[in-house]
Amino acid sequence: MEKTSKIYIAGHTGLVGSAIMRQLQKAVYEKVITRTHAELDLTDASAVENFFVKEKPDYVFCAAAKVGGLHANDAYMADFAMENLKITINLIDSAYKNGVKKLLYPGSSCIYPRECPQPVKEEYLLTGPLEPTNEGYALAKITGVKLCDYYKKQYGANFISCMPANLYGPNDCYNESRNHVVPALIQRFHHAKINNLPSVEIWGTGKARREFMYIDDAAEACLFLMDNYEGPGIINVGNGNDVSIAELAQFVSDTVGYNGRIVFDTSKPDGMPRRCLDSSRISRMGWNAKTPFREGLEKAYEWFLANVYRADE
């Protein structure tokens, strides 16, 4: 990308898109294009096509998605599948039709098979059944990954995809019906702290393991790949470190300063037993995550206090 290139961030107000925006601003790119959901409904094919015809972006980051945690993905599977399919298809097809030079599609590590070997290599995609609780969302994201490959193969489009680990940080979703595990725990432990609650209950056994990466590291990787990667297939973006949900809960409790008990509801599902990415390919290319997990949690909690907790007061 050149400093004067027209760069469109789809979903610039969300967790991933806002972090990409910060990285582009930091690097002083001059022509960053954005639209809010009110200005452009990405599920509307005609509206998306008209936008691309008018703006003619050179580069596109597909950071828009309907996202949620374990409960939301399971309870609203049709919504997650349909909305993400529409967004994905509209962005990729309009980008191709309007001569976009390069497109980056960030997927989700939940697209890998539930029982695949660990750490997860890129070639494990579609080698086994998905985790049932997020199958709808995962299938929609897999479609985006494969469409990038199909458009590259059939039309020569320079469309690439990456697979980040579980992400967290500024602009995360703190809606209790849709949030992921890190913001859910931050909100829950903070509520327990200020209300002097004796315990906090968490779904599952606490044994499931996940890899977490600070969002600004992921955004930096997206810019790195846009400038340095043109291959087919996906490329993993992670830090290679995973923790159990029980360990995560204790880390968040310590960060928030909550001193009560942590109780696990073992009648609720754990989701995928373990998910840790093998990110050796991007590491060999010269990119590595920088933010230690505990430092990232502190930054996430600081953002919550400044932007979410005040709004709830």
DSSP E strand stretches across the chain: 6-10, 31-33, 59-62, 102-106, 159-164, 166-168, 199-203, 209-214, 234-237, 242-244, 261-265, 274-275
258 is catalytic: no
* Residue of 168, 167, 159 lying closest to 62 (CA atoms): 159
Type and span of the H or E element at 220: helix 215-228
Instruction: Supply the DSSP symbol for 206.
Output: S
Q: Does residue 179 sit in helix, strand or coil?
A: coil
CA distance 272 to 265: 16
Q: Length of the chain, please?
A: 313
Active-site residue, selected from the candidate residues 8, 29, 137, 258 = 137
**Backbone region of residue 50 per phi and psi (left: phi > 0; alpha: psi in -120 to 50; beta: other values):** alpha
**So which residues are the catalytic ones?**
137
